[in-house]
Chains A and B, each alone.
Chain A
Amino acid sequence: MTQTTSDPLRRLETSSLADDVFTLRHVSKTYATRNVEALKNVSLSLKRGSFASVIGTSGCGKSTLLKIMAGLISPSAGSVLLSGDPVVGTRRDIGLMFQQATLFPWSTVIENVLLPIRIRDGKAAAKAKRSEALALLDMAGLKGFENVYPSELSGGMAQRAAICRMLVTEPEVLLLDEPFSALDEMTRDFMNMELQRICQEREATAFLVTHSIVEAVILSDVIYVMSPRPGRITKVVEVDLPRPRTLDIMGEKRFGDIVAEVRAHLNESSGHGH
C-alpha cells in the first residue's frame, strides 16, 4: 500500500490520536433507499488495549456502526480511521464476531479456525499455522475437538471456536456484535470472563455491541450509550472497576451504581420515563 502524507486523512500525527486504535469523527449514515437516518454524528475513540461497549435498544444503529468500523459499508459522512489509516473497505487487522458462531458445517473445527489464513495467505500458510491454531483451541477449552464437525458442538463451544477463528489472524481490533447473546446465562457469564482474559492476555482492543447492561459494565472500560432514530451517542460512561474482574464483582455496590447509571441514561435516551 502506498501512502501519500500530503493527504490530511492518510496520517494523523496529532498527539491526542496517537494512542487511539480506532477514531470515528462525525460519522453519519443515512440509508438512501428508505431515507432512514441510522447514525447521526457519532464520534468516538478506542484506546489501544481498551475494551469499549456500545449499548442501546434494538434498532438504534449499533450494528450499522459496527459494519462501518469493519469497512463493510461506507458512512454517508464523517471519517473512520484505524491506526491512523482511513477505513475504506475491509481490513485484515480487524476480527469480527456475530451472535451466531457462523461456523461452516462442511469443514471441521480446525479447518474453520484456519479458514481466514487459508483465504488470505493460501493452503501452505494455513498448514504452517496449524500448531498455533491448535494452541488457540486448547486455550479456548476445545482440545480434542479439532477434527469434529460444528454440528457436534454445543452453542457455547461453537462460539469459542468462532473466537479462535477471529484470533488466528492476530487482529488489532475485535469487533463483537452481541457475540454471546444467544447463549444461556451461565454459559454467557463464563464466556464473558474468557473474553476478558483473552483480551488482557493479547492486549487486544475490543469493541462490543450489546443490549445487556450487566455484560457491558463487567467487560468495559468505557460504555457508549446510544439512542435510536437517529442513532447517536447520548452518554459516555467510564467504568473504573479494577481488573481483572470476576463475576463476584456483580455483588459490589460500585458495580450496582454503574449499572443503575447506565440504565438511567438508556431509559432517558429511549424516551422511557420509568
Chain B
Amino acid sequence: MAIDATPASAQEAPLPSTVWERKPSWIARIPQPVLVLAVGAIFVAIWQVAFSLELVSPILLPSPGATFNQIIVVGTNLLTGGYMLPAFWITTQEVFIGFAVAIVIGIGLGVIVGETAIGQKAIMPYLVAINTMPKVAFAPLFVAWLGFGIGSKVALAAFLAFFPIMVGTAAGLHAADANARMLFQTMSASRWQTLIHLKFPAGLPMIFAGLKNGAVLVVIGAIVGEYLGGGSGFGELVRVASSILDTARVFALIIYLSLLGVVLFALVSLLQRRLVFWHTEKAGGASLD
C-alpha cells in the first residue's frame, strides 16, 4: 500500500516532472582509444611540422616517416631472428635478473629496516646516504668488478631499482593500524606471525608501489650499464646508431626498449591485482576496517 503524504489541496494541479540527469562533457563521451590516438596524431603532426620547417636540424631530428620505417626495419629484424634479437635477449635477461636481485635485496633490507630497531636507527641512514649518491657513477666500478659481460649490467640495474622496493617494504610494514596490532598482541602472536599474517599483507599496496618504481628504474639501469660498460645488448645498438647520427634508428630502438619496460610494469601490475585484490583506494588511505 502506497502512502500519499501530499495534502489534498496540492493534489489538484499536477506538478511538472523534475527528473533530470547531469550531462557529461563531450570529451567524456568519446571512447578512450579514440582520444589516445587523437593525441598521438597531434603529436606526430607537430613533429612533422617541426621537421618540414627545419626548426631543428634534420641531422638531429628525424622525420616521422623515417622513424616509422626504422620501426619496421628493427621489428622485422627482431621477428626474423636477425642480429638484433640476441642483443634484445641479453638486455631482457639483464632487466629480469636485475629485477629479481632488486626484489630480494629490496624486500630483505626493507624487512630489516622496517622491523628491527637497529635497522631503523643504524642501517637506514647509510641506505639513505647511498640513495643520494649518483648511482650511475658506480657503473665503471661494476665493470671493473664484474667485467664487460651481463653481470655488471645486472648489478647496476639492481642497484638502481632496489631502493624504492626497500622503502616501500619498510613503510608498508608500518601500514597496519594500532587496533590490528593490539588484536595480534592479544592473540599472543609471535613477531614472525605478526609479520607474516598482518604487517606483510597490510603493507602489500606500498610494497607494490615500490616494485612499480623499481620496474622502471631497472630498465634504466640495464641500458645505462650497457652505454657505459659496453657488452652486446640493445643499449650497445643504440649507442652505435647514435654515434653515426642515425637518429631514426635510435628512436626506433628506444621504442622497442620501452616495450620491455612496459611488459615488466604490466607483469607487476597483474601480480598486484591478483594479490592485492582487496585493496580499494579510499580517500582516507588504508582500508583495514
Give A residues with C-beta under 8 Å from B. 67, 70-72, 90-92, 94-96, 98, 100-106, 115-116, 118-120, 149-151, 158
User: When the two chains form their complex, are residues A100 and B179 in contact, meaning their CB atoms are under 8 A apart?
Assistant: yes
Quick check: is B69 within 8 A (CB to CB) of the other chain?
no
User: When the two chains form their complex, are residues A104 and B288 in contact, meaning their CB atoms are under 8 A apart?
Assistant: yes
CB distance from B94 to the nearest CB of A (A): 34
Q: With A105-B278, A151-B278 given, is the CB distance from A90 to B188 under 8 Å? A: yes
Q: With A115-B197, A149-B278, A151-B278 given, is the CB distance from A102 to B183 under 8 Å? A: yes
User: When the two chains form their complex, are residues B198 and A104 in contact, meaning their CB atoms are under 8 A apart?
Assistant: yes
Q: With A102-B177, A105-B288 given, is the CB distance from A119 to B187 under 8 Å? A: yes
User: When the two chains form their complex, are residues B289 and A119 in contact, meaning their CB atoms are under 8 A apart?
Assistant: no
Give B residues with C-beta under 8 Å from A. 177, 179-180, 182-189, 193, 197-198, 201-202, 204, 276, 278-280, 287-289
User: When the two chains form their complex, are residues B188 and A72 in contact, meaning their CB atoms are under 8 A apart?
Assistant: no
CA separation between A197 and B187, bound complex, in Å? 25
Please give 18 more A-B residue pairs, beta carbons under 8 A apart, in addition to A70-B182, A92-B187.
A72-B185, A90-B186, A91-B186, A92-B188, A96-B183, A100-B179, A100-B289, A102-B177, A102-B289, A104-B201, A104-B202, A115-B197, A119-B184, A119-B188, A119-B189, A119-B193, A150-B278, A158-B289
User: When the two chains form their complex, are residues A101 and B289 in contact, meaning their CB atoms are under 8 A apart?
Assistant: yes
CA separation between A100 and B178, bound complex, in Å? 11
Q: With A105-B278, A151-B278 given, is the CB distance from A120 to B179 under 8 Å? A: no
CA separation between A158 and B289, bound complex, in Å? 9
CA separation between A24 and B276, bound complex, in Å? 44
Q: Work out how many contacts link A and B, with CB atoms closer than 8 A.
A: 66
- The SS class assigned to the B binding surface is helix
- Listed A/B pairs (23) with beta-carbon separation below 8 Å: A67-B182, A70-B186, A71-B186, A72-B182, A72-B185, A90-B187, A94-B186, A95-B186, A96-B182, A100-B177, A100-B179, A101-B289, A102-B177, A102-B180, A102-B288, A103-B289, A104-B201, A105-B288, A106-B204, A118-B197, A119-B197, A151-B280, A158-B289
Q: With A119-B188, A119-B193 given, is the CB distance from A98 to B278 under 8 Å? A: no
Q: What B residues does A104 contact at CB under 8 A?
A: 180, 197-198, 201-202, 288
User: When the two chains form their complex, are residues A90 and B279 in contact, meaning their CB atoms are under 8 A apart?
Assistant: no
CB distance from A19 to the nearest CB of B (A): 24
Q: Which of A98, A106, A150 contacts B201 (CB 8 A)?
A: A106
CB distance from A182 to the nearest CB of B (A): 8
CA separation between A72 and B179, bound complex, in Å? 11
CB distance from A82 to the nearest CB of B (A): 12
B193's nearest neighbour on chain A, judged by CB, is A119
CB distance from B280 to the nearest CB of A (A): 7
Of the candidates A70, A98, A101, A118, the one having the most CB atoms from chain B within 10 angstroms of its own CB is A98
CB distance from A5 to the nearest CB of B (A): 25
Q: What B residues does A103 contact at CB under 8 A?
A: 289
